[in-house]
Every structure is written in C-alpha cells, then in structure tokens.
C-alpha cells in the first residue's frame, strides 16, 4: 500500500505504508519534510497536519473531538479537509491516498 505526500515545495513523494500504521508514523519513518509528530501520535503536538485530497477525505473517517480542537491550533491554516495524520490509520481502502503537507 502507498501514500503520496505533496510537500510544501510542490514536489510529490510516494512511500510504501504498511497496513495498520498511521500516516504520521509512515511519514516520519520515511523522513517526509514538514511532518514532525513530536508527541508520538497522541494529538498533543499538532505537528503532523496534512490536507487530505478531497477525493480521499471521506474515506479517512470521522474527525474526533480532540483532533478537531487541536486542528484549530495547527501552524498552517486549517483547511476543510485538514487532518492530524496520526489519526489516519492505513487500510486497503486508503491505498493510493494523496495528502498535501501545508506550508507553515
């Protein structure tokens, strides 16, 4: 399974993501620029913000209450399809997902 991140400089990077891994873990394991994830996926840092491609957004599932509140304090402006990528877990339905790493 794969995911593609569009970096702040416009470049696309595609990486393999194992099922069950969350997309912050996948990004930091591959060194995707702009995804930091300092709290290890517990929604405390808001440094794994991505904007999900609208075509894929519905498939990423519902935004939880805490995630919703932390999305209000991310560094780059929140967009309608913004998520904390630590809260998106890789499944077959998300194979090929496209994400934008917003410019800080």
Partner 1 sequence: MTVWAPTDDGHADLSSHDSFVSGPPLNTFARLRREDPLSWSDWSGGKGFWSVTRHADILELNRQHELLSSARGIRMEDQTYEEYLARRTFQETDPPEHMQTRVKVARAFSKNVVAEFEDQIRALCVEILDQTLAKGTFDATKDIARELPMRMLGRIIGTPDEDLPWLVEKGDALIANTDPDFTKHVLDRMTTDEFRMMPFNSPAGAELFVYAKDLMQRKADRGDTSGVLNMILAPGPDGTVMPENEFRNFFCLLVAAGNDTTRYSIAAGIQALCNQPELLAQIQSGAVDDTMADEIIRWATPALYFRRTATRDFDMHGRTVREGDKVLYWFISGNRDETAFDNPLWVDLGRTPNKHLSFGQGGPHLCLGMWLARLEVRVLFQELAKRIRSIEPAGEHRFLRSNFVGGIKSLPVTVTLK
Residues that bind partner 1 (CB under 8 A): 38-46, 65-66, 69-70, 72-75
CB of 102 to partner 1, least distance (A): 13
String of b and e for 70-87 (b: at least 16 CB within 10 Å)?
bbeebebeebebbbbbbb
* CB of 54 vs partner 1, minimal distance in Å: 25
Q: How far is the CB of 38 from partner 1 (least distance, A)?
A: 5
Q: What is the DSSP letter of 42?
A: S
Q: Which is nearer to partner 1, 43 or 98 (CB)?
A: 43
Q: In whole angstroms, what is the distance from residue 2 CA to residue 91 CA? A: 10
């Amino acid at each position: 399974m794969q995911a593609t991140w569009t970096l702040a400089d416009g470049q696309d990077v595609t990486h393999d993501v194992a099922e069950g891994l969350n997309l912050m873990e996948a990004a930091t394991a591959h060194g995707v620029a702009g995804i930091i994830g300092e709290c290890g996926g517990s929604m405390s840092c808001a440094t794994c913000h991505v904007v999900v491609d609208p075509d894929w957004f519905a498939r990423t599932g519902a935004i939880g209450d805490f995630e919703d509140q932390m999305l209000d304090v991310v560094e780059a402006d929140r967009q309608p399809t913004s998520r904390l990528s630590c809260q998106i877990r890789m499944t077959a339905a998300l194979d090929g997902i496209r994400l934008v790493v917003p410019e800080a």
